[in-house]
Structures are given as structure tokens and as C-alpha cells.
Structure 1
């Protein structure tokens, strides 16, 4: 669907009128859960900013008076579905580090050889320093943060 009309400042143009008509067509067919009790839809005009509900006719009038709010290119409040984003599963290592010039096979071989040594070294060191195993304590702490929504208090 062409949404270039949203960036057109001339609200009297044929392009803008056709765009408003296409938006109202989508909004008219939006699911009931996107509407309020009276069957009104959110108004995406620049003044209302999707905060207030109005009839289709009132929304149309608002769009012609003040234009559609900037940045509202996917009409999620009016039933348009956001396309899913797919990430390739096998590119994890490529996303986490920059190329170093070292052959990947050599790098993976080094990790496979050294990882057990670090695992065996770190856990006893933490137990010695703190008197208890730190990893389960951190897991419990993060679990509490998630369960009790304490993230805002910590930050």
C-alpha cells in the first residue's frame, strides 16, 4: 500500500484525498478490539496523536484539518499487521564480534580448548572471594527483578 500521501503537505491534493480514503478503508475494517465501546477508532491526526477516539467522519475531518501524525507509517492501532522480522540463526558469531583476521576455525578450536580451563578457574575463585557460589545468587536476583518488575528501581 502506497503511503507517500502521508508526507504530502498539500492536504487538498488528489494524492492526499486518496490516501485518506485508503486509511479510512483500513480503519473501517479494523478489529473490534481496536475500537472503543461506541465503535469509534483512534484519531491519528497530528493533534490527537492516537490518544482519542472519534467516529470515522470526525477522524476524516481531523486528517484534512491537521494531517496525519508523523512517524505513523504502520497503522497498528487500526488493524494493520506488523510484518515479522526473521533473523538467521547461524549468524550468531558474526553478529557478536568484528572480524579479527584470525581464521574462524582456529578461533573456534582455541575456544574449545580454553573454555574448560576458564570454567574450572572462575567458579572456585568466586566461591573463595564471596564465600558462596555467585552464579546461582545472580540468577535468583535477576529472577526477582523480572518477577517483581524491579528494573525501574535498579536503574
Structure 2
């Protein structure tokens, strides 16, 4: 018999979630953000959501607006909950926010070695548009490239400059 689970909910990231957010990021990323960095992001007004089921944090993202672009700053899914569509759900929520703020494009960076994330981003409509060499730390004295990815989410402005 299949176990029936409560549906996951997307909620605004609030300060009470920060210890769990930092713990999930530490479990999911080789060089995670600190709880202070997430707190600073909230203070700066960045857009952030958590994906929660029955009080348990499944994943989250934090993004910012810059002119007519939206930039994904950080996204993680708890390792025990990866491969269940939660990353895709978070990216859909991110895109909905980008559309809501009238962003024309959505940008992100991903480690060149993170094939699983790159595949997810491509499946969700992101295209590789460049790279930043030696961007991410791997080990002391060793760095890897960041792959820049973009997804167009807006419609071109009609007309021209008035």
C-alpha cells in the first residue's frame, strides 16, 4: 500500500527558517552559505522561498532582481529529498516570481562539475551562455569554472525608445 504524504508548500523564507536553511545547504553543497549570509540576503530584500512538508524543510532558493533580470543566488534540496521533483518545483516558483516582477531573463551560475544540476536547469529551459574560469573553490589552490545559464522569461518590449 502506498503511503500518503501531505503536499509540500512553498512559503516565504523567514528568519525562523534560517537554521534549517543553512543546515540543508551545508548537507547539499560542497561550499555552503552561512546562516549569516542567508540572514543578510533577507535583510537586503532578496526574494527567497522555502519548500516545506509537515514542518520539514525540503529545499529553498534565494534570488535577487537587478534591472530587468532576475538572478538565482542559491538553491538547495535536502539530500534525502533529491530526485523527487522538488528542485523543479523551486525553479518553477522562481520563474513565476521573475515573471511577476517583469524580468526579461533569469540567470544562474552552476559548478561545471555539477552535471545533475546542469541537467535539471537545461530540462527547465535554461541555456548555457558562457563561463567564468576558476570561479568556484574546490580545494586549497584548486578552482573550477562556473557555467553561466540564462532563461528568457519575459516578452520583448514593443516599439522602441520613446
- Using the size of structure 1 for normalisation, the TM-score is 0.25
- Using the size of structure 2 for normalisation, the TM-score is 0.25
Greater helix percent: which structure? 1
Please tell me whether Structure 1 or Structure 2 has the larger radius of gyration of its CA atoms.
1
